[in-house]
Structure 1
Amino acid sequence: MSEDEPPVENHSARPLDALIRAAMKERGWTYSDLERASGRALTRARWQQLGSGVVQRKFPDPSSLSVISEVLEVDITTVVLAAARSVGLDVRTRGTDLAHLLPALTERLSGRMRDAILTLVRAAVADARTEDAGDPGPSDALSGLRLEWPKSDSPSGSERGRPDSPGT
């Protein structure tokens, strides 16, 4: 990351209350809005309790964790780790934060789209290794790289949802 780039927030390092409050702030929601979004599976009072910042005595039950994940549009692992921090467990993640930079619902990408993204990431890692090895010459890691996927799987999704577009 360069000095000009703003730091990326790591959702996985937050306790549950911070995760909840950040989602509320982002959406302009209240605890009542969270209750409605959860289909009343979690009450306003429970959302408020979880978002209060007070160390929780009990770990939330699995069904509550699933509801929180769905409502906040955050992967379940992030919610479980956040809940663990909220009950006082010292949770540390290993490795890079790349997985946490991915937007919500990336698990819905098609297999071809995932393969294309992984190919690009692998090529970039190979390119970085070449640079780290001190090779002053241009890297061939990306040469010949060709990414293809059907328009219906395109990241923009601009064609999806239109009644006149194929595949809808």
Structure 2
Amino acid sequence: MTERGWSYADLERESGGALSRGRWQQLGSADAQNKFPHPESLRVIAQVLEIDVTSVVLAAARAVGLPVPAQAGDFADQLPAGTERLSVPMRDAILGVVRAAVAGSSAGPVVREIDGVTLEWPKESAPSRQRPDGPIDYEEADL
């Protein structure tokens, strides 16, 4: 809501009146809920907030006190609304960056697969650490 500048009345309007302002406010409170929302309400919430229904179901389960472990960690929860609309090539590129960052944060060897060939080398001798000219200036590099 904060990110979009929406009020509970805006959410009611965006849901076409399927959920009242009061129901949105109840769902948005930090208070534990007494009962699990109706499946149609879960679908409407996901549609209005532009998030996947699985995230809504898991959040609802936590709100009624069910012990639901985090599925992908806090990082996944920080992705902005609309991420699911990214093209497959864009998702692959972003995942590649994340995988490289995760691999770079480990103390183990660096492992890369290129065209079905697996390459592995000690982190300290990784190609990215062997630039004799220093770090790349991305403003001047041909990308």
**TM-score tier after normalising by the smaller chain length:** 0.5 to 0.7
Cα deviation, 1:51-83, whole Å, max 9, x if unaligned, reads: 344432221122211211222333323221221
- Distance in 2 between the 1:98 and 1:65 partners? 23
RMSD over aligned CA atoms reads 2.8
**Is 1:31 aligned to 2:8, yes or no?**
yes
Per the TM alignment, residue 94 of structure 1 is displaced from its structure 2 partner at its CA by 4.9
**Is 1:127 aligned to 2:114, yes or no?**
no
**Is 1:51 aligned to 2:28, yes or no?**
yes
1:132-147 to 2 correspondences below 5 Å: 132-133=107-108, 137-140=124-127
- Distance in 2 between the 1:125 and 1:74 partners? 25
Per the TM alignment, residue 35 of structure 1 is displaced from its structure 2 partner at its CA by 0.7
Q: Which residue of 2 aligns with 1:113?
A: 90
Give the TM-score of the pair, scaled to structure 2.
Answer: 0.64
Larger strand proportion of the pair: 2
Q: Which has the higher contact order (CA 8 A, sep 6+)?
A: 1
- Distance in 1 between the 2:84 and 2:100 partners? 22
Listed as ranges, the gaps of 5+ residues in structure 1 are 1-22, 144-168
Per the TM alignment, residue 141 of structure 1 is displaced from its structure 2 partner at its CA by 6.2
How many residue pairs align between the two structures? 118
What one-letter code is carried by the residue in structure 1 that aligns with 2:61? A
What one-letter code is carried by the residue in structure 2 that aligns with 1:47? W
Max radius of gyration: which structure? 2
**Is 1:91 aligned to 2:68, yes or no?**
yes
Q: Which residue of 2 aligns with 1:18?
A: none
Identity of aligned residues (%): 58
- Distance in 2 between the 1:71 and 1:142 partners? 46
What one-letter code is carried by the residue in structure 1 that aligns with 2:14? A
What one-letter code is carried by the residue in structure 1 that aligns with 2:127? D
Name whichever of 107-116 and 120-129 sits farther off.
120-129
